[in-house]
Amino acid sequence: MTTLLEPAFAKVNLTLDVLGRRPDGYHDLRSVFQTVSVRDDLALDIGTGKPWRLQCSKEGIPCDERNLAWKAAKLFCELAKVEPEGLEIRITKRIPSEAGLGGGSADAAAVLRALNRHYGSPFSVGALAEIGAQVGSDVPFCVLGGTAMVEGRGERLRPLPPIPECFFVICKPDFSSSTPELYRQLDAQPIACRPDHRAMEAAILAGDLAAITRSVRNVFDDVVSAAHPEVGGIKSVFRTYGGMCAELTGSGSAIFTIVPSFEYAAVICDMLRGQYSNLFIGKSV
């Protein structure tokens, strides 16, 4: 039996725009994704000689073929034409669910990377990302990581230079958002303020962290903030104690800010710790 270890990093959306509904029912997106160091850890046992099994340290996570990590492993083995002769996936879960942080997608991408490495890299990184697109919309980016412009359903990726080193504070409130309902609301009304992707890309190319934070924008933010006033309270704490921006990631419900040093991040967490248990400090990866 062989054990493979692989980290699964969360993502935040520095920008997120919904461009319209597609004929297939999905929506076209344009978004700048950024990997952050908040992570799950995966261990894959290859050759257990037993039926496939998935374990997760957090209750409430599906531990069968509904889990994206399981789906990714099954698809990889089918396409690579390999038989692991028994597989066990163990997930140490830290990335909160229903947060807009891509935790399930990150786990799936970690499985793809680990299996690809174990079997001698039959797929390039680009091909592995294409496999990931069959598992979930955010999986291709999670395979790639770093900083990237993401378009379509998430399958079109254009790597960007790394952003300057900085720290992220992420707060996940107790509520969760219904993604389909948020899309319905956006479809029903004009979007008042969209992200300026040209400005964001120019700021990234210039390595200007202040300009990057000025261009942070997510079209879901206004809808979620209107329905949940506590989002405004979290943002207020972010800004009061040195946060350079304050915005939703994905369709929520996590909110993030960017700060230039760990000391700022620690102070913000101290201010929120009495109200929120899902608080994270991460670095850009």
Q: Which residues are catalytic?
A: 11, 138
Cα distances (angstroms) measured from residue 121 to each of 68, 105, 152: 21, 20, 27
Burial of residue 211 (CB within 10 Å: 0-12, 13-18, 19+) is middle
Which tokens sit at 93?
A: 């879960």
Would you tell me how many other CB atoms lie within 10 Å of the CB of residue 258?
Answer: 29
Rounded to 5 degrees, what angle do the CA atoms 104, 108, 111 make? 140
CA nearest neighbour of 108 among 50, 175, 62: 62
Q: Report CA torsion sign: 155, 160, 165, 167.
A: negative
Up-side HSE of residue 42: CA atoms within 13 Å toward CB?
30
Which tokens sit at 121?
A: 């890299």
**Tokens 């889990």 sit on residue:** 67
Q: At what angle do helices 179-188 and 220-227 cross, to 10 degrees?
A: 110
Up-side HSE of residue 234: CA atoms within 13 Å toward CB?
29
Cα 182 to the center of its chain, rounded Å:
18
CA dihedral 103, 107, 109, 115 (to 10 degrees): 180
Question: What's 284's DSSP letter?
Answer: B
Residue 167 backbone phi and psi in degrees, to 5: -120, 145
